[in-house]
Copies of this chain bind each other. A is one copy, B any other.
């Protein structure tokens, strides 16, 4: 899970910072922003085509099938991206947080729905305007291609998880990945926050919420993780958790 960042230069200037100064200050290296591709003085070009928005908890801000008019860059909060089947079954394809770019998985129309898990602040870019910015700053497009490549790698990792891993392996893999993301934006030795519900976790891992709960209990029982009152998780034994993430039983 750490090699996937190697190919992407870490940003010293985050796009989000440029547009909403002060936000995400502790997170400037978070994941891969759309950052760093522009010189400081060019960032205002991007800012000019961005509109800042706040999405309340539970509100959907992208609907599958809608005409794809915008890209989004998350500044704060967490959202879930998912696809539904007509009978209500749901697959969450990813959780996105500060620094994450949303909207690549779209042709004419969005191929997914996005919903805020808690209050989300984001920047909205018009697709056509962003395209013209690309023409002026090709480095931005290069960066976007890197972001897309990175998402493809993650998607294939998730296919491996969904197609071939057991319930405990899925949960262990998720916790490791989630803690990797979180530690880029370090909150010290704090417990890892899990803003999503067990049901969301199930929809992400291809399990039911009961199975997620049981798998987490199993990890607690073995003193591999600790779950706080606030639902935060602390990883006690990263090595044994890693062992669970790939090996059978």
A residues near B, CB below 8 A?
3-8, 68, 83, 85-87, 89-91, 93, 104-109, 111-112, 134-135, 138, 141-142, 144-145, 148-153, 155-160, 162-165, 203, 205-206, 246-248
Contacts of A68 in B (CB 8 A): 7
Report whether A105 and B153 are in contact in the complex, using a CB–CB cutoff of 8 Å.
Answer: yes
Q: Which residues of B contact A155 (CB under 8 A)?
A: 105, 152, 155-156, 159
30 A-B residue pairings within 8 Å (CB atoms): A3-B107, A4-B107, A6-B108, A6-B109, A7-B68, A7-B106, A7-B107, A83-B159, A85-B164, A85-B246, A90-B164, A91-B156, A91-B159, A91-B163, A104-B149, A104-B152, A105-B149, A105-B152, A105-B153, A105-B155, A106-B149, A111-B152, A134-B142, A135-B138, A138-B138, A141-B141, A141-B142, A141-B145, A159-B159, A162-B162
User: What are the residues of chain B within 8 A of A105 when measuring CB–CB?
Assistant: 149, 152-153, 155-156
